[in-house]
Structure 1
């Protein structure tokens, strides 16, 4: 199986569903994500477990939703990176694959090895991020949201074109 075959297997969110999100300015989308991540990773941020991001910019690209987020760490808070800041690490993938990661239906190693989620830039920083994602236990923190994310994953897996 080629890399292209592996990538093609990921269901894709229909373009019609991405249109409303595209109307929201990127600064507002990023601000919302930053608030969610700071709340979600509060214990790890407080304990310094995300210090590897200090002074670095991580770009997250969601291909099929046409979304891009640039994040950094300032003290003990995740923040939006300044516009035009150089990217040290990029993680790109489709909505479905990010949902697989978030719901723990696939482990990070499998998603990255099969290039369903693609890393670019600093290999060392990418390894820190992957290991962090692999180690953090989110199930108890996201409660009912996990059920919604699992439902979205099932729906996209069934009806997403791929």
Structure 2
């Protein structure tokens, strides 16, 4: 997909910060993220609230950070999906927009309606994911981490609003 437009109203991670992230293979991110999500969503996994992902692959693309990860549900636990397996659902957006969603500074409907987060593939599966995220109450589990994520979100917003650097000698290298 990779057609999320980054504008001043849609801040993005600065390219120098994204480069190191893009050097790590997607499978590494997938394995790391499922470990975190299995702990974070432990009660919901135990209650079967994520069973809609059983046998399905969800790919998440963070376009400005140049990273992606693929997850599925196997034996009641989230697992990294094989890199060559086709995905049933894809969600893409900027790190800023994913942070807005995670910190509840913006709701999923607004982000999807304004095409800041984009869904592809199985729309029914996408609706299950959106509804799951809308109903999720994480503040009690990750309270201090929310404060950190809010700070990072604000920082990315501030950095993106700074004027872009200009070349010190715009005419240098041009022949008359």
Report the TM range for the smaller structure's normalisation: over 0.9
Report if the CA contact (8 A) 1:14-1:160 is conserved. yes
Report if the CA contact (8 A) 2:30-2:81 is conserved. no
Distance in 2 separating the partners of 1:10 and 1:87 = 26
Who is 1:120 aligned against?
Answer: 120
Report if the CA contact (8 A) 2:6-2:12 is conserved. no
Higher RCO (CA < 8 A, seq sep 6+): 1
Q: Shift of the alpha carbon at 1:7?
A: 5.4
Report if the CA contact (8 A) 1:13-1:161 is conserved. no
Who is 1:17 aligned against?
Answer: 17
Who is 2:136 aligned against?
Answer: 136
Q: Shift of the alpha carbon at 1:160?
A: 1.7
Give unpaired runs (5+ residues) of structure 2: 163-176
Report if the CA contact (8 A) 2:56-2:87 is conserved. yes
Distance in 2 separating the partners of 1:158 and 1:92 = 22
Who is 2:151 aligned against?
Answer: 151
The answer to whether structure 1 residue 42 and structure 2 residue 45 are counterparts is no
- Which deviates more from structure 2 when the two are superposed, residues 20-29 or residues 142-151? 20-29
TM-score, structure 1 length as denominator? 0.92
Q: How many residues align?
A: 159
- The CA RMSD over aligned residues, in Å, is 1.8
Who is 1:84 aligned against?
Answer: 84
* Runs of 4+ with >3 A deviation: none
TM-score, structure 2 length as denominator? 0.85
Report if the CA contact (8 A) 1:12-1:161 is conserved. no
The answer to whether structure 1 residue 61 and structure 2 residue 61 are counterparts is yes
Distance in 2 separating the partners of 1:120 and 1:23 = 25
Report if the CA contact (8 A) 2:56-2:73 is conserved. yes
Who is 1:100 aligned against?
Answer: 100
Distance in 1 separating the partners of 2:62 and 2:160 = 15
Q: Shift of the alpha carbon at 1:34?
A: 0.8
More helix by share: 1
Distance in 2 separating the partners of 1:90 and 1:28 = 18
Q: Shift of the alpha carbon at 1:111?
A: 0.7
Q: Shift of the alpha carbon at 1:82?
A: 1.2
